[in-house]
Amino acid sequence: MKTRIISGAVLAVVTVAVILIGGPVLAAVLLLCSLVAMNELMKALGVITEEKKFPPVAIAAYVGCVIYYIAVFLGKDVFYGEVAAIVITAIVSMYVLFFGDTRSEDVTGTVFSFVYSAFMLSFIYLIRAGSYGERYVWMVFASSWIADTCAYFTGYFLGKHKMAPVLSPKKTIEGAAGGIIGAGLAGLLLAKFLFSGNYMWQCFLICAVGAMISIVGDLAASAIKRDRGIKDYGKLIPGHGGIMDRFDSVIFTAPVIYLLVHLLLRFMNV
């Protein structure tokens, strides 16, 4: 437990520092996290094994991930959505070129890993790099990590009804409700300090909805682990597991926050 707390605190400090710096530092860190997360997922899905440490589809995904983040970093002049589509095309092309040595499951697993980790994590950078992104980006973590903390304590003290006993036996409906409310309240604090008390209901709604999605992200990552019979995706973060274990909820939350910010705040010229 002590190791988990210390590593969690260090991770939080590093995350805050990287987000505050933004720019190429944030892009580079997200690229590294995406590469590690992709590797963890492909191992969990059986794309990468002891016998197949560097299958062609995985190599295409690694190279494509780097190219994709370069496109994301370059910004509006490069259509990173199209680059993502090209990366997926390259992965499928490896299946055609190495047909017989590559299974169809390897292709679907690799494409899934790229979209799940690299593509979805990149929305953190897209939020941060946009107008007033230094304000909006904190909603991602309020909707995931703060919600997770509130859910833990609410569930610990008040939890009675299991939410998903097969996927996550410790999660309760009461804990989920506490996490959503806690995230919404964190949104109110963000509105007070970042928007001078304006747009209170918008920030509450964005963070509360984000918290709902973060629960889905957490359960989705747990479902894959249960299905594949593994405890953790990796051992990179002591006491937490791998990147996928720690950022599972953030991965799902980031694209939703990006969309909600544009719908509820950007259209209001906030």
What's the first-to-final CA gap in the chain, in angstroms?
Answer: 42
Residue 187 tokens, joined: 């949104």
- Average pLDDT across each block of 10 residues of the chain; the chain has 270 residues. List them in order: 80 93 96 97 95 93 97 80 94 93 93 96 94 91 93 92 87 95 96 89 95 95 93 89 93 95 71
Amino acid letter, 241: G
Which pTM value belongs to this model?
Answer: 0.93
Instruction: Look at residue 266 in the predicted model and tell me its pLDDT.
Output: 62
Query: How many angstroms separate the most distant Cα atoms in the chain?
Result: 61
Q: How far apart are CA 261 and CA 270, in angstroms?
A: 10
Q: Is the dihedral of CA 168, 38, 145, 236 positive or negative?
A: positive
CB 178 within 8 A of CB 154: yes
Instruction: Look at residue 268 in the predicted model and tell me its pLDDT.
Output: 58
Amino acid letter, 215: I
Residue 157 tokens, joined: 């003290």
Instruction: Look at residue 175 in the predicted model and tell me its pLDDT.
Output: 95
Q: How far apart are CA 14 and CA 114, in angstroms?
A: 24
Residue 185 tokens, joined: 């309240």
- Where does residue 162 fall: left (phi above 0), alpha (psi -120 to 50 degrees), or beta otherwise? beta
